[in-house]
């Protein structure tokens, strides 16, 4: 238990610290790298609560693909982020006030924390029996009870894909494209001619 | 005290011993992979290859290693120092850490976790970070171009690798690597899933930046790509990491398609040979294919690479996922 | 083998999603030249979906593990949404061709967005609510930026996207609070828990956040800031779409959300809705006065109309919901008609959108001017137009719920609103044209302008069928 406790505090502390660094790092590339670090620690926390599937998917999807593209874009951008951030001090009072209000509200809400007694009985999320791995358990839920949401999320990604293509794809004129079929179906006789070249004659 | 020893200290020491037992042979294998690469290429090009240091040049890798260790680490003045140094460490670290879940034989595995396949996939998808960080931190246009190319390339080919893994998982019904191997006792998956095997192997080439997909480090156009600014130890770490990754991808190929540690036929004398040896032999075979491809196939152009990844492999492997699932359901072969 | 859930109630959504994919395939293979064909096929798909809605509609039916509900309220709202989408799609065909943004993805995105709206209307769980909302919004963000070479259109899309994402964040934050304090995201379950009388502060804070997120999509004050900019920047045909279908879906969602799961908290949410309603009505009337761009004016007008519709919701009664539904039905007809006229505004082959450009319309296009006048009178709520009854019913409901202040503010702000609606009539009839508008008006627009104008008049004289439908639908919401 001690080891788990220590691991939790380590993951949690690094997660919070790196999340702070994401918004405070001067260099945007460093921000993205800290973001990746915080993803990792979130994955670590998931592993600690036994949700290994979610942890791995977090790493594969967010760290392995999404953050790579972030990094890709941020590295290509030539924005003076220091200039962008110069407004920080100007907006600090109002932002700080809003944040403070939200914090107080949260405190009020949490202070009055009372989960309805009916609510606890309504939490109909039975833990899977121990012999079923949690990957299988998630699969059994996603494809039965939540199949509607699963499919609808797919639809959202489909729309996002169409959107990305519509807004960025431009057919450029005058680009010579490779036609693989034609290249492959080309026969030797069509392109090679064997000629007898007379000495000093040329073709 | 006894409790502390039994509860914490001994397990830790035992794990460290296991880790060393995996890493040391791995590093030796990496060293001899470089040697094998030069020998195989030489043989295919009718040359001798390294033959002066030690008998048959067998000590050549160590000589190379010593040379690199003895040199000075140069950090370019415009480089981002922290990221510049962290990048090769990351590549090397990722090359090693994935081996934690590889089963070398029945029960011979450091961490037999439930989501082994996903773990491997996650780690291999992280490999891109070392390269892209190196490319950016070097503050050099060749390195940056190399980093960009590799980022796009690895992300593209991961998609088809993921789909290939899904087809295998459909046939296994578990994400545990030991289960994946044991499911191949009747038939190795490369027979029923041969097209997926080919897709996986080619994607593995792309994922490890090997010829013919070595554009990120194309010597002739990018003077070495992302590692152009690296020297001595930092370069050595890249080198080790990359070759460790090659061995890792071969190990993945073996586990997913070539029956892991299982002998080809479960009859004497084949099953007298211990599993780890079969495993090593199969990895060596796949690695030989890596080298063979490098010796024979010219480098792809970048648009061809992307076309192959997105327009050929992606739809093809998607169709195969559907097909496999359909066949499994139609004949009621789904693993319980 | 798991049981396949009953998919019949969700048939319209399934059909639309599949149709959108098929149409996209067709369009991609045929190229951008087939946009008109794809558009007409999309309209056909929307019509078929409407038929399916009628076919599967009936008594309340919950399916897909309680995530999806189909009832008579849903049928009514879905028909309105489909009607709005189909009509705006028909209107936009010629416009997109003239503006060189004729690409096959346009109708497909509208169909997909409509699918999202149907999902919103049928949501019976906070998660399916969110998923539907996001399906609708994501497609909307894209079509807002559809004219990608225009800086204004791109800006509109980006603004819409960023603020929309913010509102989704609020919605999700609120949902998580609701889940945390009530222990469920399902509407049925929530209703049961809340009816049992356990209401904590946390739950109310969650409700406020959810309401804020939805109000954003509704463009109700104080979450309206994006509306004028997005309406002005987007291509006009897209603005027409935004002003009609998503509004209806968002109102439907809001009504279902507040009446069904949070029905027992009516005293608490009434204050929120009251504030939103008053704010929207006042802002919609006063801010519109100074506008010179007709799309901006329509944006403020739509903010105002949302305010009036919310008056009915604030009543929280069956009568109020009936008023809201009737209001929305009339609103669709008036708005489509008005936008059909706006889409016809071209000078020398170039689209114009200033209010002054309408001057002298009565001379150059007398019928168009007459129709526009009808729409404007109707929006102002002046008889003999349907808009009068629309306002009447919501105010009536408010008075019955003893929300006298709300009703009085509503009447007063509609008087102010009448000023700018009538100003357009004045510009059309009494100002001299600097440069007349082009004469070429597409046939679809002619038919639609005439039809919507007729309906706007018709519903004044025979409001009974529509009203009965609305009442019938509203009762299904209060039955359980």
For residue B50, pLDDT beyond 50? yes
Mean pLDDT comparison of B303-307, C334-338, C361-365, highest-scoring range: C334-338
List chain B residues with CB under 8 Å of A68.
Answer: 128-129, 132, 151, 154-155
d(CA A84, CA A79): 8
CB pairs under 8 A between A and C: 114
Contact C86, C215 (CB under 8 A): no
CB-CB neighbors (< 8 A) of A53 in chain B:
115, 118, 175
Average pLDDT score over residue span C386-398: 89
Contact A118 C193 (CB under 8 A): yes
pLDDT digits (tens, 9 = 90+) for B118-140: 888 888 888 888 888 888 888 88
Predicted model pTM: 0.88
> What pLDDT sits at residue C1?
46
Do the chains contact at A133 and B148, CB–CB below 8 Å? no
Q: Are C145 and C86 in contact (CB under 8 A)?
A: no
- Residue B43 near chain A (CB below 8 Å): no
Say yes or no: A73 and A136 in one domain: no
Chain A residues in contact with B309 by the CB 8 A cut-off are none
- Provide the shortest C-alpha distance from residue C147 to chain A (in Å): 9
Using one digit for the tens of pLDDT, what is the confidence trace for B17-32? 988 988 899 989 998 9
Q: What is the pLDDT of residue A78?
A: 67
C112, A147: Cβ pair inside 8 Å?
no
Q: B71 CA to chain A: closest CA distance, Å?
A: 29
Domain with A161 in it: 127-169
SS3 A75: helix
At A29-78, the pLDDT tens digits run 888 889 999 998 999 998 888 888 889 889 888 888 888 888 888 887 76
Task: Write the DSSP string, C76-102.
Answer: HHHHHHHHHHHHHHHHHHHHHHHTT--
Q: What average pLDDT is seen over chain A?
A: 81
What integer pLDDT is reported at residue A128 of this predicted model? 64
A1 and A65 belong to one structural domain: yes
**Is A5 inside a domain boundary?**
yes
Give the nearest partner residue to A135 out of B122, B129, B175, using CB atoms: B175
A-chain CB neighbours of C147 within 8 Å are: none
Assess if residue C180 is contained within a domain. no
Q: Exposed, middle or buried, B9 (CB in 10 Å: 0-12/13-18/19+)?
A: exposed
Q: Are C296 and C232 in contact (CB under 8 A)?
A: yes
Tell me how close the Cα of A202 comes to any Cα of chain C, in angstroms.
49
**Across the interface, which of A52, A65, A72 has its CB nearest the CB of B115?**
A52
Give B151→chain A minimum CA distance, Å.
Answer: 7
Asked whether residue C130 is assigned to any structural domain, the reply reads no
Which residue from B minimizes the CA distance to A52?
B115
Q: Can the peptide bond before residue B212 be classed as cis, meaning omega within 30 degrees of 0?
A: yes
C368, part of any domain = yes
Q: What share of chain C is helix, strand, coil (3-state, %, to 5)?
A: 80, 5, 20
| Residue A196 belongs to a domain | no
Count of pairs with CB atoms under 8 A, one residue in A, one in B: 73
Band of residue C2 on the pLDDT scale cut at 50, 70, 90: low
Give the 3-state secondary structure of B196-228.
HHHHHHHHHHHHCCCCCCCHHHCHHHHCCHHHC
Looking at the complex, does the CB of residue B152 fall below 8 Å from at least one CB of chain A? yes
Rounded to a whole number of angstroms, the distance from the CA of C179 to the nearest CA of chain A is 9
Tell me what pLDDT residue B6 has. 79
Selected residues 49-78 of chain A with any CB under 8 Å from a CB in chain B: 52-53, 56-57, 59-60, 63-65, 68-69, 71-72, 75-76
Mean pLDDT of chain B, nearest integer = 86
Matching residue, tokens 């082959």: C349
One domain, residues A72 and A133: no
Residue C171 lies in a domain: no
Instruction: Report yes or no: C205 at the A interface, CB cutoff 8 Å.
Output: yes
Identify the pLDDT of residue A151. Answer: 92
Beta carbons of A148 and C177 less than 8 Å apart: no
- Give dist(CA C251, CA B68) in Å, integer: 70
| Nearest alpha carbon to residue B164 among B198, B129, B214 | B198
Taking CA atoms, what residue in A is nearest to C196?
A118
A130 touches chain C (CB under 8 A): no
Q: What is the pLDDT of residue A83?
A: 66
Domain closes at, from A64, A79, A94: A79
Boundaries of domain holding C295: 265-480
102-121 in chain C: CB under 8 A from chain A: 103, 105, 108-109, 112, 115-116, 119
Contacting residues of C for A148, CB less than 8 Å apart: 5, 10, 64-65, 67-68, 128
Average pLDDT on C315-322 reads 88
The total domain count for chain A is 2
Average pLDDT over residues B239-249: 89
In chain B, the percentage of residues whose pLDDT exceeds 70 is 98
B143 against C39, higher pLDDT: C39
Question: Half-sphere exposure of residue B218, counting CA atoms within 13 Å on the CB side?
Answer: 19
Tell me if A166 and C193 make a contact (CB, 8 A cut-off): no
Dist. CA C242–CA C146, nearest whole Å: 13
> How many residues in chain B?
336
Chains B and A touch (3+ CB pairs under 8 A): yes
Q: Which chains touch B (3 or more CB pairs under 8 A)?
A: A
Q: Do C131 and A152 touch (CB under 8 A)?
A: yes
Instruction: Tell me if chain C has a CB within 8 Å of the CB of A142.
Output: no
CATH number of the domain to which A41 belongs: 1.20.120.1200
**Is A70 found in the same domain as A8?**
yes
Same domain membership, residue A75 and residue A132 = no
Which residue bears the tokens 């690597």? B177
CB contact under 8 Å between A56 and B122, yes or no, is yes
Nearest CB to B113 within list A29, A52, A65:
A52
Instruction: State the chains in contact with C (3 or more Cβ–Cβ pairs under 8 Å).
Output: A
Q: Is A112 on the interface with C (CB under 8 A)?
A: yes
Longest Cα–Cα distance of chain A, Å, equals 104
- Token pair in block for residue B141: 């246009």
Of A60, A64, A133, the CB nearest to B114: A133
Given a cut of 70, the residues of chain A with pLDDT beneath it are 1, 78-88, 109-128, 203
**C-beta atoms of B122 and A71 within 8 A:** no
The per-residue pLDDT for C198 is 67
Helices marked H in chain B? 2-4, 10-44, 60-70, 81-97, 116-137, 141-172, 177-182, 194-207, 219-222, 232-257, 275-296, 302-306, 314-330
Q: Is C260 on the interface with A (CB under 8 A)?
A: no
Cβ burial of A70 (10 Å; 0-12, 13-18, 19+) is middle
Contact list in A for residue B147 (CB cut-off 8 A) is: 75
Asked if C5 has any chain A CB less than 8 Å from its own CB, the reply is yes
Exposed e or buried b per residue across B229-259, where buried means at least 16 C-beta atoms within 10 angstroms of its C-beta: bbbebbbbbbbbbbbbbbbbbbbbbbbbbbb
**Nearest CA of chain B to the CA of A136: how many Å?**
8
pLDDT tens per residue, range C417-473: 888 888 889 888 888 877 777 777 888 888 889 999 988 888 888 888 888 888 888
Q: Domain total for chain C? A: 1
Q: Is B115 in contact with A178 (Cβ distance < 8 A)? A: no
Smallest Cβ–Cβ distance between A116 and the set C132, C145, C182 belongs to C182
- Residue C445 resides in a domain: yes
Which tops the pLDDT comparison, B289 or A137?
B289
User: Between chains, do C182 and A163 touch, taking CB under 8 Å as contact?
Assistant: no
Domain presence at residue A135 = yes
Q: Do residue A68 and residue B151 have CB atoms under 8 angstroms apart?
A: yes
Give domain status of residue C124, yes or no: no
Q: What is the pLDDT of residues B300-321, one digit of tens each?
A: 888 888 888 888 899 999 999 9
Q: Does B115 touch chain A (CB under 8 A)?
A: yes
Chain A hits for C115, CB-CB cut-off 8 Å, are 155
Note whether A133 contacts B155, CB cutoff 8 Å: no
Task: Please check whether residue C222 touches A, CB under 8 A.
Answer: no
ipTM reported for the complex, 2 dp: 0.90
């Amino acid at each position: 238990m001690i080891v788990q406790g220590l691991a939790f505090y380590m993951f949690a502390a690094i997660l919070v610290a790196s999340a702070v660094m994401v918004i405070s790092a001067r260099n945007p590339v460093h921000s993205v790298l800290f973001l990746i670090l915080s993803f990792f620690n979130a994955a670590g926390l998931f592993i600690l609560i036994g949700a290994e599937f979610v942890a791995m998917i977090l790493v594969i999807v967010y760290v392995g693909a999404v953050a790579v593209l972030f990094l890709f874009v941020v590295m290509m951008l030539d924005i003076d982020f220091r200039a962008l951030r110069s407004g920080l001090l100007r907006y600090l009072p109002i932002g700080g006030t809003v944040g403070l209000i939200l914090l107080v509200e949260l405190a009020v809400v949490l202070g009055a924390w009372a989960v309805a007694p009916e609510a606890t009985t309504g939490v109909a999320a039975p833990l899977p029996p121990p012999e079923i791995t949690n990957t299988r358990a998630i699969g059994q839920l996603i494809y039965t009870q939540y199949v509607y949401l699963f499919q609808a999320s797919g639809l959202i990604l489909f729309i996002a894909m169409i959107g990305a293509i519509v807004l960025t794809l431009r057919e450029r004129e005058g680009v010579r494209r490779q036609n693989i079929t034609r290249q492959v179906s080309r026969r030797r006789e069509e392109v090679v001619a064997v000629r007898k070249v007379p000495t000093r004659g040329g073709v | 005290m006894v409790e502390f020893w039994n509860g914490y200290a001994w397990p830790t020491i035992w794990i460290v011993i296991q880790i060393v037992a995996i890493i040391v042979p791995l590093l030796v294998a990496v060293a001899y992979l470089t040697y094998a690469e030069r020998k195989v290429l030489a043989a295919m090009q009718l040359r001798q290859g390294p033959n002066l240091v030690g008998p048959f040049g067998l000590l050549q890798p160590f000589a190379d290693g010593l040379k690199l260790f003895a040199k000075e680490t140069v950090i370019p003045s415009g480089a981002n120092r922290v990221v510049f140094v962290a990048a090769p460490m990351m590549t090397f670290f990722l090359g090693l850490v994935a081996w934690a879940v590889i089963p070398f034989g029945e029960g011979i595995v450091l961490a037999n976790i439930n989501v082994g396949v996903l773990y491997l996939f996650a780690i291999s998808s992280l490999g891109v970070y070392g390269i892209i960080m190196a490319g950016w931190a070097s503050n050099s246009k060749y390195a940056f171009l190399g980093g960009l190319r590799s980022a796009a390339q690895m992300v593209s080919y991961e998609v088809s690798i993921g789909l290939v893994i899904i087809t295998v998982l459909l046939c296994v019904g578990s994400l545990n690597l030991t289960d994946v191997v044991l499911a191949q006792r009747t038939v190795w998956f490369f027979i029923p899933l041969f097209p997926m095997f080919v897709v996986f192997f080619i994607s593995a080439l792309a994922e490890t930046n090997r010829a013919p997909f070595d554009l990120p480090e194309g010597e002739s156009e990018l003077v070495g790509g992302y590692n152009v600014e690296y020297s001595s130890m930092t370069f050595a770490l890249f080198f080790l990491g990359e070759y460790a990754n090659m061995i890792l991808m071969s190990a993945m190929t073996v586990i997913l398609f070539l029956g892991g540690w299982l002998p080809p036929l479960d009859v004497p004398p084949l099953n007298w040979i211990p599993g780890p040896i079969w495993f090593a032999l199969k990895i060596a075979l796949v690695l030989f294919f890596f080298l063979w491809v490098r010796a024979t196939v010219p480098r792809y152009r970048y648009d061809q690479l992307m076309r192959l990844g997105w327009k050929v492999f992606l739809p093809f492997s998607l169709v195969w996922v559907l097909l496999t699932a359909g066949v499994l359901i139609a004949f009621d072969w789904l693993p319980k | 083998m798991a049981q396949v859930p009953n998919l019949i109630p969700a048939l319209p959504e399934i059909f639309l999603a599949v149709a959108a994919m098929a149409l996209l395939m067709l369009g991609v293979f045929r190229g951008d030249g087939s946009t008109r064909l794809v558009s007409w096929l999309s309209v056909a798909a929307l019509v078929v979906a409407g038929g399916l809605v009628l076919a599967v509609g009936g008594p309340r039916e919950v399916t897909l593990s309680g995530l999806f509900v189909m009832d008579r309220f849903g049928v009514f709202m879905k028909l309105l949404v489909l009607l709005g989408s189909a009509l705006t799609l028909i209107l936009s065909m010629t416009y997109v061709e003239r503006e060189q943004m004729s690409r096959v993805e346009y109708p497909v995105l509208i169909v997909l967005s409509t699918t999202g709206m149907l999902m919103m209307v049928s949501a019976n769980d906070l998660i399916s609510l969110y998923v539907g909302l996001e399906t609708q919004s994501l497609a909307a963000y894209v079509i807002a930026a559809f004219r990608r070479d225009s800086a204004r259109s791109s800006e509109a899309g980006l603004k819409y996207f960023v603020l929309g994402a913010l509102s989704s964040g609020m919605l999700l934050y609120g949902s998580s609070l609701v889940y945390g304090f009530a222990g469920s995201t399902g509407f049925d379950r929530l209703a049961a828990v809340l009816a049992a009388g356990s209401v904590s502060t946390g739950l109310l804070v969650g409700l406020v956040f959810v309401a804020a997120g939805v109000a954003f999509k509704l463009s109700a004050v104080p979450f309206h800031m994006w509306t004028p900019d997005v309406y002005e920047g987007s291509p006009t045909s897209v603005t027409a779409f935004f002003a009609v279908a998503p509004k209806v879906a968002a109102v439907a969602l809001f009504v279902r959300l507040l009446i069904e799961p949070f029905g027992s908290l009516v005293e608490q949410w009434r204050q929120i809705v009251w504030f939103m309603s008053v704010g929207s009505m006042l802002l919609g009337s006063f801010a519109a006065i100074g506008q010179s761009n007709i799309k901006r004016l329509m944006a403020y007008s739509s903010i105002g109309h949302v305010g009036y519709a919310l008056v009915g919701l604030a009543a929280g009664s069956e009568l109020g919901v009936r008023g809201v539904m009737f209001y929305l039905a009339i609103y669709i007809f008036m708005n489509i008609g008005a936008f059909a006229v706006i889409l016809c505004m071209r000078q020398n082959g170039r689209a114009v959108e200033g209010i002054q450009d309408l001057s002298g319309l009565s001379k150059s296009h007398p019928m168009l001017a007459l129709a526009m006048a009808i729409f404007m009178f109707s929006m102002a709520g002046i008889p003999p137009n349907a808009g009068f009854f629309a306002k009447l019913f919501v105010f009536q409901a408010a008075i019955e719920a003893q929300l006298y202040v709300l009703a009085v503010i509503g009447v007063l702000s509609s008087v102010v609103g009448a000023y700018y609606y009538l100003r357009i009539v004045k510009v059309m009839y009494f100002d001299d044209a600097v440069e007349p508008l082009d004469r070429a008006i597409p046939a679809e627009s002619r038919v639609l302008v005439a039809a919507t104008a007729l309906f706007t008049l018709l519903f004044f004289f025979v409001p009974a069928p529509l009203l009965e439908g609305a009442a019938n639908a509203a009762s299904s919401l209060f039955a359980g």
